C-alpha cells in the first residue's frame, strides 16, 4: 500500500491552461504539504495545511491554490500555467505535533509547461 500517492506522475500542458494534481495519504496524518523541486534539486515548500491552519509561502504566486476535501487529501490547483512552473511537485504528510514529525513524500509529479 502506497503511503502517499499523487497523480498524475507526469503532466505536460500548454501555457495558460489550468491543471490539478491530486494527493492522498493513508497514514492518518493530520498535516499535508506541497513542495516544488526545481531543476537544481532545491526543495521549496509551497503550502502546509492541516485542519487548523493553512500556511502559504509568500513567494508562491496566487495562481497556485491548495484544496483539501478531507484530512487524507490535499490537491494542488494551478491556474494560467507559465513556463516557469515546470518542475517536480511533491506532496507530503506528517503529524503536526512535537513528537515524531517525519514527513512522508509521494513519488512526485513532473510538470512540463510548453
Contacts with another protein by CB under 8 A lie at 4, 31, 35, 41-43, 45, 48, 50, 53, 55, 90, 92, 94-98, 101-108
Shortest Cβ 64–another protein spacing (Å): 18
Shortest Cβ 10–another protein spacing (Å): 11
Question: With respect to another protein, which residue has the nearer C-beta, 73 or 105?
Answer: 105
Task: Report the C-alpha gap between 77 and 49 in whole angstroms.
Answer: 14
Shortest Cβ 97–another protein spacing (Å): 5
Length of the chain: 114
Amino acid at each position: 500500500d502506497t503511503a502517499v500517492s499523487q497523480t498524475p506522475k507526469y503532466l505536460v500542458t500548454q501555457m495558460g491552461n489550468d491543471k490539478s494534481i491530486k494527493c492522498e495519504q493513508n497514514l492518518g496524518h493530520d498535516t499535508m504539504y506541497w513542495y516544488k523541486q526545481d531543476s537544481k534539486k532545491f526543495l521549496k515548500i509551497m503550502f502546509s495545511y492541516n485542519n487548523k491552519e493553512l500556511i502559504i509561502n509568500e513567494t508562491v504566486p496566487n495562481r497556485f491554490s491548495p484544496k483539501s476535501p478531507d484530512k487524507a487529501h490535499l490537491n494542488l490547483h494551478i491556474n494560467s500555467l507559465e513556463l516557469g512552473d515546470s518542475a517536480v511537485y511533491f506532496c507530503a504528510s506528517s503529524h503536526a505535533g512535537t513528537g515524531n514529525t517525519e514527513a512522508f513524500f509521494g513519488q512526485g509529479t513532473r510538470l512540463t509547461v510548453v
